[in-house]
């Protein structure tokens, strides 16, 4: 399953970094408000992330105006290091999207295994599960990693920090 970890180091204090992170995050507006803002074409605020910052950690997702079930969920923690502050970030799939991906790829792999037991590679019944597996694999990776890279760039830009 898609998973992406990295850290960003800063010479600033932990509180200064947390203040910058709070400026990047907007509370989740909820479904009804989100739909009404979308229908009205309004963009409330310029925060690139939705979620919450509490203590020295944060749980957010990127604010997008389109639907992507494979949008990374972002969890991070901020802590002191010798030369300043380190922001540890982990990006992962939502559990429901991960379960869907496992189910899809498992069914495709099982169908491929059955087809290979009874057919010659290259027959149509064998090509369908191969296509399903490749499509599912690329769907998950194509929905996750480009979004993870965008989110990392937004975090780095918003924090004004160099990544490691």
Q: Terminal CA-to-CA distance of the chain, rounded, Å?
A: 23
How many Cβ atoms are within 10 Å of 31's Cβ, its own excluded? 8
Residue 8 to residue 158: CA distance in whole angstroms: 12
With beta carbons less than 8 A apart as the criterion, state whether 164 and 9 touch: yes
With beta carbons less than 8 A apart as the criterion, state whether 90 and 77 touch: no
Position 44 scores a pLDDT of: 54
Q: Is 8 helix (H, G, I), strand (E, B) or coil?
A: strand
Tell me the domains of the chain and their CATH numbers: 3-96+135-159 (3.30.310)
Beta bridge partners of 4: 91
- Torsion-angle region of 84 (φ positive above 0: left; ψ -120 to 50: alpha; else: beta): left
pTM exceeds 0.85? no
Position 40 scores a pLDDT of: 57
Position 54 scores a pLDDT of: 93
Q: Is 163 helix (H, G, I), strand (E, B) or coil?
A: strand
pLDDT tens for each residue of 29-76: 776 665 565 555 555 567 899 999 999 999 999 998 888 999 999 999
Position 115 scores a pLDDT of: 76
Position 47 scores a pLDDT of: 87
Question: Which regions of the chain are under pLDDT 50?
Answer: 162-164
Position 112 scores a pLDDT of: 81
Position 41 scores a pLDDT of: 57
Position 88 scores a pLDDT of: 96
Position 23 scores a pLDDT of: 93
């Amino acid at each position: 399953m898609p998973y992406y970890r990295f850290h960003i180091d800063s010479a600033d204090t932990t509180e200064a970094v947390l203040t910058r992170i709070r400026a990047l995050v907007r509370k989740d507006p909820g479904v009804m408000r989100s739909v009404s803002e979308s229908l009205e074409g309004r963009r409330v605020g310029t925060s690139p992330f939705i979620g919450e910052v509490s203590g020295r950690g944060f749980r957010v997702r990127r604010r997008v105006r389109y639907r992507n079930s494979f949008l990374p969920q972002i969890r991070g923690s901020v802590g002191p290091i010798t030369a300043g502050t380190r922001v540890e970030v982990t990006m992962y799939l939502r559990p429901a999207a991960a379960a869907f991906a496992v189910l899809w790829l498992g069914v495709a792999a099982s169908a491929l295994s059955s087809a290979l037991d009874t057919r010659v590679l290259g027959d149509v019944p064998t090509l369908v599960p191969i296509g399903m597996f490749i499509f599912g694999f690329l769907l998950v990776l194509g929905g996750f990693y480009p979004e993870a890279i965008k989110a990392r760039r937004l975090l780095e830009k918003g924090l004004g920090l160099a990544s490691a």
